[in-house]
Amino acid sequence: MTWRVHVRILPRAGLLDPQGQAVEHALAALRFPEASNVHVGKAVALDIAAPSAAEAEAKVRAMCDQLLANPVTEDYEIEVDVGGSA
């Protein structure tokens, strides 16, 4: 089975996020005052071959810990699309 997995990697809470700040200011200037607490990080999308969604997630977790996310400055969340394809 192949699973489409999405990883969202965001700067760890409390760390300065200058990019998020810049976007928040820009949105305000564009008259989107309703946006706040803006953060900008990375999105990774991948296909994972694995027997189950749980195993696909475990694999991607390992990838995040080893490569995709910076353990010192970033947090990540993993989403496995329901229903992989054979």
Partner 1 sequence: MTRVAVVRFPGSNCEPETCRAVERAGGTAFYVWHRDTSLADADAVILPGGFSYGDYLRSGAIARFSPIMEPIRRHAAAGAPVLGLCNGFQILCEAGLLPGALVRNAGLKYLSRPVDVRIERTDTPFTSAYRPGEVIRIPVGHGDGRFAAADSVLDALEAEGRVVLRYTGPAAPDAPENPNGSMRSIAGVCNPAGNVVGMMPHPERLAESALGSDAGHRVFLSLVRSLGRTDPVSERRSPAGVP
Partner 2 sequence: MTNVTLGIEAHPFPGERAVTPAVVREHNLNDREYAEIVAMLRRAPTLTELGIFSALWSEHCSYKHTRPVLRTFPTTGPQVIQGPGENAGVLRLLDGWAVAFKIESHNHPSAVEPYQGAATGVGGILRDVFTMGARPVAVLNSLRLGPLDDARNRYLFAGIVKGVGDYGNCVGIPTLGGEVAFAPGYSGNPLVNAMCVGLLREKDLMRARAHGVGNVLLTMGARTGRDGIHGASFASEELSEKSEARRPQVQVGDPFTEKLLLEATLELIESGLTVGIQDMGAAGLTSSSAEMAARGGVGVELDTSLVPTREPGMSPYEIMLSESQERMLVVAEPHRVEAIQAVCAKWELTATPVGRVTEDGLFRVVHEGVVVAAIPGEKLIDGCPVYHPEAVEPAAVGARRRASPAGAPRADPAGALLLLLDDPSVASKRWVYEQYDSTVQAETVLGPGGDAGVLRVPGTGFGLALSVDCNQRYVALDPYEGGKAAVAEAARNVACTGAVPLGITDCLNFGNPDRPEVFFQFREACRGIADACRAFGTPVTGGNVSLYNESPTGAIDPTPTVGMVGLLRDVGKRVPSHFRAPGDPIVLLGTSRGHLGGSSYWEVVHDFVGGAPPPVQLEAEAALQRLLADAADQGLLRSAHDCSDGGLAVALAECCIGEPYATAPLGAQVNLGNEPGLAPEGVLYAEDAGRVVVTTPPGSARGLCTLAARHGVPAEPVGTVGESNGLLEIHTRNDHLTYRWTVPELRRIYFDALPRRMGGESDRSMEGR
Q: Which residues bind partner 2 (CB under 8 A)?
A: 11, 14-19, 22-23, 25-26, 29, 40, 42, 67-68, 70, 72-73
Q: Report residue 34 as tokens.
A: 């309703």
The residues that bridge with 78 in the sheet, in sequence order, are 7
How far is the C-alpha of 7 from the C-alpha of 44, rounded, in Å?
5
Q: Which stretch binds partner 1 (CB under 8 A): 51-59, 68-76, 77-85?
A: 68-76
Q: For the CB of residue 15, give the shortest distance to a second copy in the complex, in Å.
A: 14
Quick one: CA torsion of 49, 80, 23, 19, rounded to 10 degrees? -50
The site for partner 1 (CB under 8 A) is made up of 11, 15-16, 18-19, 22-23, 26, 29-30, 40, 42, 67-68, 70, 72-73
